[in-house]
Amino acid sequence: MNLSTQVFTLDNAARIRLTQCLHQGNYRLRTVPHASLAAEGRECQITLYHSGKLVVQGQGAAAWVEFTLEPEVLGQARLGYEKLLHPERISAHMGIDESGKGDFFGPLVIAAAYVDPPLADAFTKLKVRDSKMITSDRVSEKMAADLRQLLGRRFSIVTIGPRAYNRLYAGFKNVNRLLAWGHARAIENLLAAIPDCPRALADQFGPKHRIESALKARGLTIKLEQRHKAESDPAVAAASVLARAAFLQGLRNLGQQAGLDLPKGAAAQVQVAAEKFVLLHGPPALGRVAKLHFKTTDHILADLGLNRSALQADPAAPENET
């Protein structure tokens, strides 16, 4: 079976849904002869011809069909290749993923989620997929709520608020070391609920030994695996959804406390919001809502005629953020 090329025939309703999906998501649109729509996704080429034939090609074709085309366009699962070709994906293990690493405002959230064959089937019914493939925050949060109910005690979430994040970063001096610490803590929490979980899978964000060292420091032993684009694994996908929803909630809470809308990401609108925050609450308070090692901090302070010396201790902020 050639999984690098998938061919489908779409009716008019499915063509409309596909068009919306490709225009709203992170795709690069292309021009292809005899095609009404064509785009480049993550390791795959997506081409819809005038006849209604859809061709998906590339190394990432099967993953895109399973996690995007089926749930968002076709509304059904047709492939299910993992049981036949990748049985390890549904065998008992936990997946770990994070959200908020690239966002100036808000917490860093690391989540761990457990999967076994029955849970894998339930994940398929819930259409669980990498949170980066879900364009709607509302959908992410609803899916996370469903996952929490389904998993019960079989997940863990570690939320590191901005003030705690800044304190930890000052000690680690490195985001990947901080991430390894958070991954180890999430694994530790889930192992308390499922002590016989045989292995843990995480995305490849840095040297494997960093997480292993953090686990060893806690007296924990579990087979640890890392690989690029691990979000295609159902446990890691579930963890990514849980982490994203917790990040969004944390960001909202901080915005409500600040009396401002705190945007996601680290783009221009984030700098505008940050300058408003500093003018409203003062420079020392910025560490309550933002990750201060970002270069965005220097740009904000420079625009206001300040430097990092203005970011003095903020005694008004609470300590219990982790």
Q: Which residue type does 6 have?
A: Q
As assigned by CATH, the class of the 87-253 domain is alpha beta
For the chain, state the CA radius of gyration. Answer: 21
Each of the 322 residues of the chain gets a pLDDT tens digit; together they read 445 788 999 989 889 989 988 988 889 999 999 999 999 998 899 999 999 999 999 988 888 888 888 888 886 544 454 555 567 788 999 999 999 999 999 999 999 999 999 999 899 889 898 888 787 899 999 999 999 999 999 999 999 999 999 999 999 999 999 999 999 999 999 999 999 999 999 988 776 888 888 888 888 889 999 987 788 889 999 999 999 999 999 999 999 999 999 999 988 899 999 999 999 999 999 999 999 999 999 999 999 999 999 998 665 655 555 5
Q: Does domain 5-79 have CATH number 3.40.50.920?
A: no
The whole-number pLDDT of residue 321 equals: 58
Q: Report the predicted TM-score, pTM, of the whole model to 2 decimal places.
A: 0.75
Residue 61 tokens read as: 């074709």
Q: Which residues contact 138 (CB under 8 A, 6 or more apart)?
A: none
Amino acid 1: pLDDT: 40
What pLDDT score does 204 carry? 83
Strands 28-29 and 199-203: unpaired
How many residues are there in the chain? 322
Q: In what order do the strands lie in the sheet with 28-29?
A: 5-9, 53-57, 44-49, 35-41, 28-29
Q: Can you tell me which residue has the tokens 């990514």?
A: 240
Q: Where are the beta strands (DSSP E) in the chain?
A: 5-9, 28-29, 35-41, 44-49, 53-57, 93-99, 108-115, 155-160, 199-203, 223-227
